[in-house]
Amino acid sequence: MLVLVLALLPAPAPGQTAPGLTPAIRLAWWTDAGFLTPFAVSILGPAGVTRLTLIYDTLVWKDGRGVIPWLAVSWRASPDGAAYVFTLRPDVRWHDGTPLTARDVRFSFEYYRRHPFRWIDTSVVSGVEVRDRRTVVIRLARRYAPFIENVAGTVPIIPEHVWQGIEHPEQEQTLASAVGSGPYRLAEYRPESGQYRLVAFDDYFRGRPLVREIQYLVIPQERQMLAVQSGQVDAGVTTTRDALALFAGHPYLRVLETEPLSIARLVLNLDHPVTGQRGFRQAVAHALDRRRIADTATRGPGIAGNPGVVPPTSAWFNPRVRRYPYDPAAARGLLRELGYIDRDGDGWLEQRDGTRLVVGLVAGPTADAEVIRQMLKDVGIEVRVRTVDPATRAQLAAEGRFEMLYTTHIGSGGDPDYLRTWFTGEAANQFASGS
């Protein structure tokens, strides 16, 4: 469950005219999202890539019914599915006034080949041909069914005149480099506080944005609802049901509950001698009562996840994926087969050399980690929880410096091809890992 709470302006009094434009809105999130270019933005959760879409455009986009034209007004696939021809809009300009052309599209994909966009794997693109200012052909290394949604609808198009010649784009963090074609441009970023100020781009090809300025503030998740209630921000997010009691009957606050497409996942490091064992991972899966963990996380009725990662509410969910029912006895049996036995009768399992079986768990400040620790204790595994902030957790995950890691992943409702990049190491971005 993901709940957005919005503070609404009261309706104008009789005789007054409602303004056509909203001067500014203030939005709360619980982490910094890094500098807003495709190369420096944080890949920790959706905050970075969501803000990126306000600055940069993609060839296509999605609405509630499916894929729609965006920078491209039309596209067609070749008969063999190995190439796509896109026709661009004629009226798109970058924030600095330079026209956006097919050369920028070609440059973007060629540049991402050398400097990957960390949110999506673009290695499926083998080449790009410019036919004229408005026509571009993207050739694929292989037929790829979700290309339009997963690549054309996700990859930010960047300006050639800004990025050509830059060899270390992740270090390029000036406002002059954050030039896009989107509805907003980056006006201010304060890395010490994680605050952002985005201002409307008056020449945006879809029309002038109604909200003139968007401000992002970093506020801990447990305080966001109080921040909305006090007027510090105009909108905040919560994943717990009890927080909504603050807004019961409030005339100017609206609660929007989204489709539950977010997941919490326990990641086990495949390169570690203990957690890398398939039998150990299966034992952990049997030892955890996912329903109770979900209820703890949401402080109310939650939705238990599944080993297939894809949320049960997703259209892509496969109910035939092998389940691991909560079965502590089965977990103990699997651990026994691996040689983990309570040799001294103290309730803890020992390894073959007689040392206690101890596994680390990296997590944020959440009650879920304690529930997991207790459930694994019930089958004899000692878990030592290391509580860290989101940025540290992301760094430990990227470097593989963990045994178990508890994290959340928001927005898992799209084409699940991303699972291929996670588990096969095929991706050209950071999701190709061994965990």
Is the dihedral angle over the CA atoms 24, 30, 35, 37 positive or is it negative? Answer: negative
Is 76 in a helix, a strand, or coil? strand
pLDDT of residue 352: 93
Q: What's the pLDDT band for 432 if we cut at 50, 70, 90?
A: very low
Q: Is beta strand 184-190 parallel, antiparallel or unpaired with respect to 195-200?
A: antiparallel
Question: Helices (DSSP H) in 203-318: which residue ranges?
Answer: 224-230, 278-287, 290-298
**Cα separation, 58 vs 86, whole angstroms:** 12
User: Residue 384's closest CA among 359, 416, 421, 405?
Assistant: 359
Is 4 in a helix, a strand, or coil? strand
Q: Which domains does the chain have, with CATH numbers?
A: 1-24+224-258 (no CATH), 60-163 (3.40.190.10), 263-424 (3.10.105.10)
Half-sphere exposure of residue 386: CA atoms within 13 angstroms, side-chain side: 15
**Cα separation, 340 vs 417, whole angstroms:** 36
| pTM above threshold 0.85 | no
Q: What's the pLDDT band for 19 if we cut at 50, 70, 90?
A: low
pLDDT exceeding 90 applies to what percent of the chain?
60
Segments of 182-315 assigned E as strands: 184-190, 195-200, 213-218, 235-238, 253-257, 263-268
pLDDT of residue 1: 43
Q: What's the pLDDT band for 8 if we cut at 50, 70, 90?
A: low
- Give the Cβ contact number of residue 322 at 10 Å: 8
Q: Do the beta carbons of residue 124 and residue 112 sit within 8 Å?
A: no
Tokens of 210: 């109604």
Tokens of 244: 């909504």
Element (H, E) at 408: strand 404-409
Whether residue 429 has pLDDT greater than 50: no
Half-sphere exposure of residue 21: CA atoms within 13 angstroms, side-chain side: 13
The per-type count for the chain, helices as H runs and strands as E runs, is 10, 17
pLDDT of residue 7: 55
Distance of CA 371 to the CA centre of its chain: 25
**Cα separation, 160 vs 149, whole angstroms:** 24
The better pLDDT of the pair 219, 323 is held by 219
CA angle 198, 200, 205 (to 5 degrees): 130
**Residues 377-417: tens digit of each pLDDT:** 999 999 999 999 877 887 888 788 999 999 876 656 678 88
Q: Do the beta carbons of residue 412 and residue 310 sit within 8 Å?
A: yes
Q: By mean pLDDT, which of 154-158, 300-304, 316-320 is the weakest?
A: 300-304
pLDDT of residue 83: 98
Q: Is beta strand 404-409 parallel, antiparallel or unpaired with respect to 358-363?
A: parallel
Segments of 30-147 assigned E as strands: 60-63, 66-69, 72-77, 83-88, 125-132, 135-140
**Cα separation, 40 vs 53, whole angstroms:** 14
Q: By mean pLDDT, which of 6-10, 310-314, 330-334, 423-427 is the weakest?
A: 6-10
